[in-house]
Amino acid sequence: MRTHRCGELNRKYAGKKVILCGWVNSIRDHGGVIFFDIRDRYGITQIVCSPENFKEDEFSRIKSIRDEWVVRVEGTVRERPIDTINPKTPTGEIEVVPEKVEIINTSLPLPFEISEIEKIEETLKLKYRYLHIRKSRLTENLNKRALFTYRIREFLISEDFIEVETPILTKSTPEGARDFIVPSRLNPGKFYALPQSPQIFKQLLMVGGLDRYFQVARCFRDEDLRADRQPEFTQIDIELSFINEDDIISLTERMLKYAIEKTFNIQIEIPFPHISYDEAISKYGVDTPDLRIPIEYIDITSIFQQTEIKILRDIIEKGGIIKGFVINKGEKISLKDIENIDRIVRETGGSGLGWIRLKGDDIQSPFKKFLFPETIQKIKTLISSENSIVLFLAGEQKKITGLLNVIKKYVIEKIFTDRTNVFKFIWVTNFPLFEYNPEEKRFQAVHHPFTSPREEDISKFKTDPGGMRSRAYDIVLNGIEIGGGSIRINKKEIQEEVFKTIGLKQEDAQERFGFLLRALEYGAPPHGGIALGLDRLIMLLVGEESIRETIAFPKTQKGTCPLTDAPSDVEQQLLKENRIKVDTEKLK
């Protein structure tokens, strides 16, 4: 049907007969000569129709062509006259002079202009997703995604991994996210759940001696959505036997380096740095540090130990701390900014902002009179530029971390605006195994309940579960969690201990996870793995702000699909067969 693709023709093809197919892009009708571009996935090519080359009725048919009609053009490639070369496109040196222009299909005018695609309301974009795909960088995102997964598969298969599909219709389990459920017609009143991840299955594969498993796995979680969260999403899911944390971490690094470099033409330095959970919280205030931002929190309580500043002294005496950070581009923060930040701090429940500006030997600060020379000397050791500002807060540890995060956000928006094309990975390790949920009055697994505690903490199940550390690790890219994993529990007794600690009664544990506990009794090898969020990774690598831009048919924030109108009512008959009665009456 076609001999070439739009976008591949250049001067070397001059004189050659070609056939192109595609969509009409932009018509420029000069009354006599008519120009239009023909576009496919690969590029655009200019077509020139002169009246003298066509019979009258044929030319008027060409005149009737509109944007987005599908055409097939048979013609000859010609070098453009020098003064009409268009340097903006790769095919700008040539054009095609057609002998025949065939209209394959017409099109209504598009419901939106693609040039405004960024601004168009999500519902409309999703309703006409195929048009969005047809003309935007979404196609390129999907292409990059496909190429990336191809490289991941290539890497893992070359390292002896076996790709295994695990069930989509599976068993609902407590803990973790809310499950999507599917009624079972053959077993009235019973339900399958869609998997939140293939977690338990991949562990069972290890018990099966499969040794090295991976899957590009669809996962489902019925929770509220965000720009980086869809109800269904894809994980690169990996599990291995006879390994420890370092094996998985280095495998993941090599895999990411390989796939990213092959797909995106970006150099990736490995190994990635590591940080413990505690240090991450202390230095960055979050367990997902963004290493592009050179701001670290510093505890400066000791500097003010002898202070005469009453507010600070009172707080220190009550056991509070003073913590803040240095901005080495101090000139970019004005007095107005400081006022704004102070206001934000007060509005968010803090008692006010402390600050010291050091500009050469000049010092500005609301506390200036009360600063000892040695205090200033100590503060000077923290800074590394001629013009710096130290911002700090005093109070209870947890509270001021939250406030510092708010301040940091303000400062980032003010100073570190250019963050394009830098990729900073970091591993976060040494997570607590459990955290206490005060609402449910019980401990919960920080990672998931199959995560192994550290050997030295096993004795703390009864004495100090909150103080136990896990063998889990998260990988963070530019401040966004892109994956996580752990060494799993492979001993039945420990698994039961964990279930007990998170408040799962023995019979419930048996009913929900009995099959796992049983498997652990049959020679379960030491094993562990990792899962990487493919949608998020691609989002970051192609520079999008939402994972919707990496998914062909995503859902809205309420989980609906404007294209198909899912979710929707089903036939009464279907409900009946599934023994389901719908009760939405008091929904209000």
Give the binding site for RNA (CB under 7 A): 26, 28-33, 35, 37, 46, 48, 50-52, 66-67, 80-81, 83-86, 88-89, 92, 95, 109-113, 115-116, 119-124, 173, 175-178, 196-197, 199, 221, 223-229, 444-449, 546, 548, 556-558, 560
Residue 118 CB, shortest distance to RNA, in Å, is 9
Contacts for 566 with CB less than 8 Å, ≥ 6 apart: 560
Smaller CB distance to RNA: residue 94 or 156?
94
**What distance in Å separates the CA atoms of residue 586 and residue 562, rounded to the nearest whole number?**
26
CA 100 distance to own-chain centroid: 48
- Residue 49 or 393: the one with the smaller Cβ distance to RNA is 49
Q: What distance in Å separates the CA atoms of residue 203 and residue 525, rounded to the nearest whole number?
A: 9
Which CB, 230 or 241, lies closer to RNA? 230
Alpha-carbon torsion angle 542, 548, 552, 555, nearest 10: 170
**Smaller CB distance to RNA: residue 260 or 487?**
487
CB–CB of 433/468 below 8 Å? yes
Tell me the three-class secondary structure of 239-302, residue by residue: EEECCCHHHHHHHHHHHHHHHHHHHHCCCCCCCCCEEEHHHHHHHHCCCCCCCCCCCCCEECCH
> Minimum CB separation from RNA for residue 539, in Å?
11
| Minimum distance, C-beta of residue 226 to RNA, in the bound complex (Å) | 4
Nearer to RNA, 149 or 173 (CB): 173
Instruction: Work out how close the CB of 584 gets to RNA at its nearest, in angstroms, rounded to a whole number.
Output: 12
Collapse the DSSP code of 343 into the 3-class scheme (helix H, G, I; strand E, B; otherwise coil) and give the result: helix
Q: DSSP strand E in 30-93: where?
A: 34-40, 43-49, 70-79
Strand pairing report for 425-429 and 442-445 = unpaired
Classify the phi-psi angles of 209: left when phi > 0, otherwise alpha if psi is within -120 to 50, otherwise beta. left
Q: How far is the CB of 350 from RNA (least distance, A)?
A: 16
| Least separation in angstroms between CB 228 and RNA | 7
Please identify, using beta-carbon distances, which residue of 394 and 502 lies nearer to RNA. Answer: 502
Q: Give me the residues paired with residue 388 across strands.
A: 358
Of 116 and 362, the one with the shorter C-beta distance to RNA is 116
Torsion, Cα of 383, 389, 395, 397 (10° steps): -50
Minimum CB separation of residue 310 from RNA in Å reads 33
Nearer to RNA, 253 or 544 (CB): 544
Tokens linked to 147: 């190429």
Backbone angles phi, psi at 215, to 5 degrees: -160, 140
Q: Is the dihedral of CA 555, 558, 562, 568 positive or negative?
A: positive
Nearest distance, CB of residue 34 and RNA, angstroms: 8
**Residue 28 main-chain phi, psi, to 5 deg:** -125, 100
Contact between residue 231 and residue 222 where contact means Cβ atoms under 8 Å apart: yes
Pick between residue 151 and residue 408 the one whose CB is nearest to RNA. Answer: 408
* CA separation for the pair 394, 354 (Å, rounded): 8
Q: Which is nearer to RNA, 229 or 359 (CB)?
A: 229
Query: Considering the complex, what minimum distance in angstroms separates the CB of residue 378 from RNA?
Result: 34
CB of 451 to RNA, least distance (A): 7
